[in-house]
Amino acid sequence: MEILAIILFISIFLLILYGYPVAFTLGGISVIYALLFLDPAAFTNLPPRIMGVVSNYVLLAVPLFIYMGIMLEKSGLAESLLETMAILFGKLKGGLAISVVIVGALLAASTGIVGATVITMGLISLPTMLKRGYSAELATGTIAASGTLGQIIPPSVVLVLLGSVLNVSVGDLFAAALLPGLLLVLVYVAYIIVIATVRPRSAPGLPAEEIREFKKEGYARKVIQAFVLPFFLIVAVLGSIFAGIASPTEAAAVGALGATILTIFQGKFSLEVLKVVGRETTHLTSMVFIILLGATTFSFVFREMNGDEYLVNLIREANLSAMAFLALVMIVVFIAGFFIDFIEIVFIIVPVVAPIFVQFGIDLVWIGVLLGLNLQTSFLSPPFGFSLFYLKGVAPPGVTTGHLYRGIVPFVVIQLVFLLVVILFPEVVYVFL
C-alpha cells in the first residue's frame, strides 16, 4: 500500500508534466487509486476534509489580495512610480535599473502577484531602459528578478497558501519573510551598482535635460502622488497585521478597499475597470481553489495509503540528517519549479514533506520562508521560468530569448546564494517575530 502511495505521487507528477490539467489530475487520479485500493468506507472522511478547507477563514485572504493586486495594476500606480523613481535616481549610473528594483519591491508589498508586476514593468520600463542605452541582458534580468519579489515580500499569496498547507500563522510567515525580502532587494541594488561601476556603458544615467524637464512643474505633487498613497496602503495592510490590529484576512479586505480608493484618486476607476478586475479575480481565485480541492483529495488518499509514514521511515532508514533532508527538499522544489507552477508545488510537494520536517523538530515558519525564496528562484530559472515567459510576451522584437537567459543567470545565482545564507543564518527570519 505504501509503495502504491509513492506510485500515485509519481504518476500525478508525470501527468502534470505531460500537460494534463492540474486540479483534475490531482483529484481524479487520487479518487481512482482510492476506489481501486482503499476501503470504500474511507471516503466518508473526505467530505469533512474538503469542507474544512473551503471554510478556512485564512484562505479568504487569497481572493482579496488577488483583487488588490489587479486593481492596483489598473490604477496606473506602477507607471507613476517608475517615472518618479527614475528621475530620483536618474543621475546615478544604473539609476534606472535601481528604480526598477525599488518599484518592484513596492509593488510586491502592494500586490503580491508576480505575473501582473512583471508584465506591467516590462511594458513600461523595458523600452525606456533600452532606449537609454542599457544592455538588453541587464534590463531584462532586472525586470524579471524585481517582478518576482512578490513571491517573498508580504503580503504574498504564496505565503498565504504556504501558511495554510504548513498549518502555521500567516501573520508569522509575513513577519518572518519581511527582513529576508528587504535584504534581497538591497543585494539586487548592490549588484546593479557593481555592474554600473565595472561596465558603465551597460547602465548609463539619464540626460540632465530630461531630469530638469520632469522637475519643471508639479514635481512635489508627482512625488507625493506616486509614493504617499501606495505607502499608506502598504502601512494599512502590513502595519495592521504586525501591530496585531487585524488578521491577514481582515488586512487583505482593508487592502482591497484601499486599492479601489487609490484607483479612484488616480482617476482610473470605472464600471468597466471594476468588471475586468472582478472577472480576473474570480478566474484566478477559482483556479487556486479548484487546485486546492484536488490537492486535498490527493493528500487524503496519500495518507490513507500510509505514504507519509513510509517516507518518514525511509528517511530514518537512510540516516539522513535534518539538514541533508532539507537540502534534498530544496533541490526537488527548485527543479520542480522549472516545469510546474508554484501553486502545484505548494499543494503537491509541501504536504508530503511537512510531516517529516515536524518529525525532525524543524520550525515550519522558517521552512515556509525558505520555500518562498526557493519558489521565487524557480520562477526565474531558465529554460522554463514563468517570469521569463511573462517578460518575453511583452518585450520589444529586438529582445531575444538569449538576452533573457543571459540576463537572469546572475540574479538566479544571487537568489541561490541568498537562500543558502538564510539556511545557514536562520535568525534572519526571527527579527520581526
pLDDT 10s digits, 8-59 = 888 887 887 777 877 788 889 988 998 888 888 887 888 887 887 778 787 8
Give the C-alpha distances (Å, rounded to integers) separating 6 from 80, 276, 352.
51, 42, 10
Assess whether pLDDT exceeds 90 at residue 88.
no
Mean pLDDT across the stretch 124-141? 86
Q: Within 13 A of 240's CA, how many CA atoms are on the CB side?
A: 16
Give the integer Cα–Cα distance in Å for 202 and 82.
19
Average pLDDT over residues 382-409: 81
pLDDT value at residue 229: 76
Q: For residue 279, what are the CA distances in angstroms to 72, 76, 115, 292?
A: 15, 19, 16, 20
Q: How far apart are CA 54 and CA 296, in angstroms?
A: 10
Q: What is the DSSP annotation of 189-235?
A: HHHHHHHHHH-GGGSPPPPHHHHHHHTSSSHHHHHHHHHHHHHHHHI
Q: What is the pLDDT of residues 318-377, one digit of tens each?
A: 788 889 999 999 998 888 777 676 777 888 888 888 988 998 999 999 999 999 999 888
Split at pLDDT 50, 70, 90, the class of 115 is low
Q: Residue 95: name the closest of 137, 136, 128, 122 by CA.
A: 128
Q: What angle do CA 287, 293, 298 make, to 5 degrees?
A: 125
Contact 408, 145 (CB under 8 A): yes
What's this model's pTM, rounded to 2 decimal places? 0.82
Cβ proximity of 290 and 99 under 8 Å: no
Q: What is the pLDDT of residue 113?
A: 62
- 155 Cβ contact partners less than 8 Å away, ≥ 6 residues apart: 61, 65, 109, 112, 174, 237, 238, 241, 248, 251, 252, 255
- Lowest-confidence segment of 204-218, 258-272, 308-322, 329-343 by average pLDDT: 204-218
Cell of 312: 518518514
In the predicted model, what is the mean pLDDT of the chain? Answer: 84
For residue 189, pLDDT beyond 90: yes
pLDDT at 106 over 90: no
pLDDT for res 369: 95
Which one has a higher pLDDT value, 351 or 116?
A: 351
The residues, ordered by sequence, that sit 6+ positions from 363 with a Cβ below 8 Å of its Cβ are 426
Residue type, 168: V
pLDDT at 384: 63
C-alpha cell at 391: 517578460
